Amino acid sequence: MMSTPDTSPSAYNDRPQATTGMPPGIPYIIGNEAAERFSFYGMKAILTVFMVDYLHWMSSAATNQGMSNAEATEHYHTFTAAAYFFPVIGALLSDIFLGKYRTILYLSIVYCIGHGALALMGSPPMSAGMWLFAGLLLISIGSGGIKPCVSAHVGDQFGKSNSHMLTKVYQWFYFSINFGSFISTLLTPWVLEHYGPHWAFGIPGVLMAIATLLFWMGRHKFVHIRPGGYRFLQELLSWEKFSSIPKLMIIFSFVAVFWALFDQTGSSWVLQAKNLNREWLGYTWLESQIQAINPILVLTLIPLFQFLIYPTIDRVFPLTPIRKISLGLFVMIGGFAIVALLQERVDAGSQPSIGWQFLAYAVLTASEVMVSITCLEFAYTQAPKTMKSIVMAVFLFSVSMGNVFTATVNRYIQTPAAASLAADIDLEEDAKEPMDNGSFVGELKLDDPAAPKLTLLGPDNTLGTPDDATLLLNKEGKLDSIENASLTSFNAVAEKIEAYFLDQTGDDSTRAFPSVEEAQPLVAGAEDAFGNPITYKLLSRDQYQLVSAGADGENDTQWDETLTGTVDRANTSDTVNTDAPTFNWLERQKIAIESEGDPNKAETVKSKLISERGGGDETKLSRDYAIGGRTLLEGAAYFWFWTTCIFVTAILFVPVGYLYKEKTYIQDEEDAEHEAEALADEAIST
C-alpha cells in the first residue's frame, strides 16, 4: 500500500517567500552543484583513457590485453546511459514518497560510496573490474537519482513574485556545472598521469562528500515542497496534466540524438586526440584535458547568447524555446563535420593540431547552449506543479537514450576477438575440458607449464585442421601472442611496409607509412593461408593495419585476421633525460609488475618504456597479430555516420517543433499553501 506523504509540522519552509529577491537557499544549491559536478566530470573525464590504458594494469599479473577503443566507448556510454536512466527512479522517490530534499541527501551518500569503490580498484577482495563495475553502478544510481531533483529543487525556491529570476538562476546553475567541470577536467587527467587511479578517482569522491555537506547545511534555507503521494497519481491519471509527458517525450526523443553525439566528447573525441599534435597554446595537453575547453566556452557563450545573439535573432523572428532547440540541432551538424574532416587527415597519415578540436568544441558548445540550457528550463516550466521532478527525469532520460544509441552502435561495430577466449583463464580448471565462450571454442594444453598453449578451433570446429590457431600464454595464463597458418604471409607483407618506412630519406619525424595508393604494389598478390587477399589500411601517422577475411572466407566476421603495425619514433630532442628519466604512475606500475622484484629486470623494463615513449635513440617497429576483434566502423567513416544522424534529426524536428503547443506551470505562493492543506486533508481521510 502506498504510504501517505509526511504532513507533520516541520521547521523547514514548505512554500516560497513572497519576495522579488533571490531565494536564500540558492547559494547552497549552486555550491553543491559545483562540487558535485567536479566529482562527476572529473571521474568521467578519465574513464575512457583509464579503461583503455590503465585497467588491465591494476592487478599484480602482467598483461598486454587492454580494452579496444570501441569496447571502451561502449562501456563509457553504457555508464552514461545508466547515470541518466536513474533520474526516473529518483524522480518517483521524490515526487511520491520522500520529497526532493531527502531524496538528494540519501542518494548523495550512495554517490560517495561509489566514488570510494573506484578509489579502491586493485585492492582485495574484488578484482579491479568488479570494483569498477560496483563503483560505476553506485555513481549512476546516486548521480542519476539526484539529478532531476536538484534541477527541480532550484525552481521550487521561486514563487510568482520572483519567477522572473528563474532564467538568471538557471544560467548560474549551469555556470556552476561548467565551473566544476572545467577545474576537474584539467586536474584529474594530470593526477591520473602522475599519481595514478587511486588518487584520480579518490579526489572526486572527496568533492562529492563536500557537495553533500553543503547541501545538508542549507536545509533550513530551502523551500521543501512536500511529496505528492496520491496527489501525484491523481495528476498522473489526469489527461490534462499527464498529456504534458508524452508531448515532451516526442520533443526529447529528438534531443536524445543530440546527446548521442555530444557525450562522445568524452569517448571518441578523446581517442581521436591521441593521434593529434597535442602541443598547443604553449602547453602539451593530455588527451583527456581538451574536454576542459567545453566548460570554458559555455561560461563565455552563455552571456554572449543571452545579451547579443538571442536579441539579434529575436528581431528577425520571435525565439521560442522550441526554435532555440531546433537551431541548436542544426549547429551540432557543423561540430561533428569538423571532427570528421579532422579524422580524414589523421586517416591520411597526418598529425594535425589539437587546436582543430577547439574549433569543433566551439561549434558544439554553441549547440549545447541552445539545446541543453533551453531544455533544462523548458522541462521545468512545462511540468505540472507536483510533477516537476518526473518531467525533469523525462528530459534526462533523453540523455540516457542518446547514450544507449551510441553504446549500441559501438557494440555492433565490434567483432568477437579470439583473445577473449584467454580472458580470466584458470590454468588448472580450464585444462580439464574444452573451452567455449559462445564465440570461440578451444582446448588448453599444459605440456610446458611455463608456456601454456590454447588451441583455437577454426570455423570447421574440428581440432587438428589447417584453420586452427594457437594462443600462446605466459605462466599466469595471460595471452602473449597468436599464431596460425596465415601469420607468415602477414609478416612478409609487414616487412615490405616497414622497409618502405625505413628507406625514406630525412629524419625520423618525417618518415611515414605508405598511403593506401602507395601500398598497392607492396600488397599486390598477397594472400592469407586460406586464399583471401590481404588489404592495407592506414590508421594514423604511426599505425597501419593489414586485414584479410580469414578462415571462413567472409569479410567483417570474427574470423577476420589483422596485423597492426606501430612505430615508436626515436626522440632526438635534448629535453629528454634518458639517464635519469621521471616515470609516470602507469610506467612505475609496469616496472613493478614486469620486473617481479628483480632489479635487473627492472632496468630492462625501464629501457623499454623509455624507448616506447620516444625517449630512445632509435626507431622501434612492432606488430600485433589478431583474429577477430575488429572495429567495422572507424576513422572518418565513424564521425560521418554521426554527422548524418544529427542532420536527419534536425530536419525532422522542424515540423514536430512547429506543432508543439507550450503550456507553462510555475509554483505560486498561495498555491503552495493550498497544496499543503489538501495534502493534510488527504492524510486524515486515508
CB 485, CB 466: distance < 8 Å: yes
Show Cβ contacts of residue 589 under 8 Å, excluding neighbours closer than 6 positions: 57, 196
Mean pLDDT of 124-135: 89
Last residue of one domain, picked from the residues 442, 461, 483? 483
Last residue of one domain, picked from the residues 435, 468, 483? 483
Say whether pLDDT at 319 is over 50. yes
What Rg value do the Cα atoms of the chain yield, rounded?
A: 28
CB 403, CB 255: distance < 8 Å: no
Mean pLDDT of 45-54: 91
Residue 585 belongs to some domain of the structure = no
Last residue of one domain, picked from the residues 187, 209, 237? 237
Check whether residue 530 and residue 625 sit in a common domain. yes
Question: Which helix (H) or strand (E) is 479 found in, with range?
Answer: strand 479-484
Percent of the chain surpassing pLDDT 90: 44
Mean pLDDT of 508-519: 89
CA distance 532 to 530: 6
Say whether pLDDT at 476 is over 70. yes
Q: Residue type at 457? A: L
Q: Which of 684, 665, 686 is nearest to 225 (CA)?
A: 665
Confidence at residue 509, expressed as pLDDT on a 0 to 100 scale = 75
CA distance 376 to 206: 27
Confidence at residue 370, expressed as pLDDT on a 0 to 100 scale = 93
Q: Residue type at 555? A: N
Check whether residue 228 and residue 354 sit in a common domain. no
Residue 472 belongs to some domain of the structure = yes
Residue 10 belongs to some domain of the structure = no
**In Å, how far are 34, 35, 41, 636 from 182, measured between CA atoms?**
10, 11, 9, 28
Q: Which of 109, 96, 103 is nearest to 6 (CA)?
A: 96
Q: What's the CA angle centered on 157, arms 151 and 160, to 5 degrees? A: 115
Secondary structure of 142-169 in HEC code, one letter for each residue = HHHHHHHHHHHHHHHCCCHHHHHHHHHH
pLDDT-derived band of residue 236, with 50, 70 and 90 as boundaries? low
Confidence at residue 604, expressed as pLDDT on a 0 to 100 scale = 78
Say whether pLDDT at 2 is over 50. no
Q: Which of 264, 258, 292 is nearest to 371 (CA)?
A: 258
CA distance 348 to 352: 11
Residue 290 belongs to some domain of the structure = yes
Q: Residue type at 252? A: F
Residue 612 belongs to some domain of the structure = no
Residue 560 belongs to some domain of the structure = yes
Secondary structure of 586-632 in HEC code, one letter for each residue = HHHHHHHHHHCCCHHHHHHHHHHHHHHCCCCCCCEEEEEEEEECCEC
CA distance 276 to 343: 9
CA distance 133 to 118: 9
Percent of the chain surpassing pLDDT 70: 85
The DSSP line for 306-340 is IIIIHHHHHHHS---HHHHHHHHHHHHHHHHHHHH
Domain hosting residue 434, numbered range: 418-483
**In Å, how far are 109, 133, 336, 405 from 206, measured between CA atoms?**
12, 20, 35, 32
434: which DSSP letter? -
CA distance 661 to 8: 39
**How far apart are the two ends of the chain, measured CA to CA in Å?**
11
Check whether residue 496 and residue 422 sit in a common domain. no
Say whether pLDDT at 82 is over 90. yes
Cis peptide bond upstream of 125, omega within 30:
yes
Backbone phi, psi, residue 670, to 5°: -70, -40
Listed range (104-108, 252-256, 585-589) with the worst mean pLDDT: 585-589
Show Cβ contacts of residue 346 under 8 Å, excluding neighbours closer than 6 positions: 272, 275, 276, 352, 540, 541, 635, 636
Residue 675 belongs to some domain of the structure = yes
Question: Which helix (H) or strand (E) is 140 found in, with range?
Answer: helix 128-156
Check whether residue 79 and residue 222 sit in a common domain. yes
The DSSP bridge pattern shows strands 561-568 and 543-548 to be antiparallel
pLDDT-derived band of residue 125, with 50, 70 and 90 as boundaries? confident
Mean pLDDT of 476-496: 92
538 φ/ψ sector (left φ>0, alpha ψ -120 to 50, else beta): beta
Say whether pLDDT at 8 is over 50. no
315-324, 443-452, 652-661: which is most confident? 315-324
Confidence at residue 668, expressed as pLDDT on a 0 to 100 scale = 54
Burial bucket for residue 432 (CB in 10 Å: 0-12, 13-18, 19+) = exposed
Mean pLDDT of 360-380: 89
Mean pLDDT of 273-284: 90
206-220, 222-236, 553-567: which is most confident? 553-567
Q: What's the CA angle centered on 143, arms 55 and 389, to 5 degrees? A: 155
Mean pLDDT of 210-223: 85
CATH number, residue 312: 1.20.1250.20
57 Cα distance to chain centroid: 20
Check whether residue 177 and residue 30 sit in a common domain. yes
Say whether pLDDT at 32 is over 70. yes
Say whether pLDDT at 51 is over 80. yes
Confidence at residue 601, expressed as pLDDT on a 0 to 100 scale = 78
pLDDT-derived band of residue 484, with 50, 70 and 90 as boundaries? very high
Confidence at residue 4, expressed as pLDDT on a 0 to 100 scale = 46
Residue 404 belongs to some domain of the structure = no
Confidence at residue 346, expressed as pLDDT on a 0 to 100 scale = 95
Q: Residue type at 675? A: E
Mean pLDDT of 515-526: 95
Average model confidence (pLDDT) for the chain?
84
Show Cβ contacts of residue 58 under 8 Å, excluding neighbours closer than 6 positions: 121, 122, 128, 197
Check whether residue 151 and residue 224 sit in a common domain. yes
Check whether residue 152 and residue 193 sit in a common domain. yes
pLDDT-derived band of residue 682, with 50, 70 and 90 as boundaries? very low
Backbone phi, psi, residue 556, to 5°: 65, 40
**In Å, how far are 277, 349, 507, 619 from 504, measured between CA atoms?**
22, 15, 9, 13
Q: Residue type at 450? A: A
Confidence at residue 523, expressed as pLDDT on a 0 to 100 scale = 96
Neighbour count for residue 465 (Cβ, 10 Å) = 12
Show Cβ contacts of residue 412 under 8 Å, excluding neighbours closer than 6 positions: none
Check whether residue 375 and residue 474 sit in a common domain. no
Check whether residue 231 and residue 90 sit in a common domain. yes
Q: Which of 500, 522, 542 is nearest to 349 (CA)?
A: 542
Which residues are bridge partners to 623 per DSSP? 565
The more confident residue out of 591 and 408 is 408
Q: Is the dihedral of CA 354, 356, 357, 362 positive or negative?
A: positive
Provide the domain count of the chain: 4
Q: Which of 267, 263, 270, 262 is nearest to 354 (CA)?
A: 270
Q: Which of 623, 432, 628, 452 is nearest to 544 (CA)?
A: 623
Check whether residue 192 and residue 328 sit in a common domain. no
Check whether residue 52 and residue 189 sit in a common domain. yes
Q: Residues 568, 572, 574, 579: what is their CA dihedral angle, to the nearest 10 degrees?
A: 60
Check whether residue 628 and residue 648 sit in a common domain. no
**Where are the extended beta strands (E) located within 399-447?**
435-436, 441-445
Say whether pLDDT at 229 is over 80. no
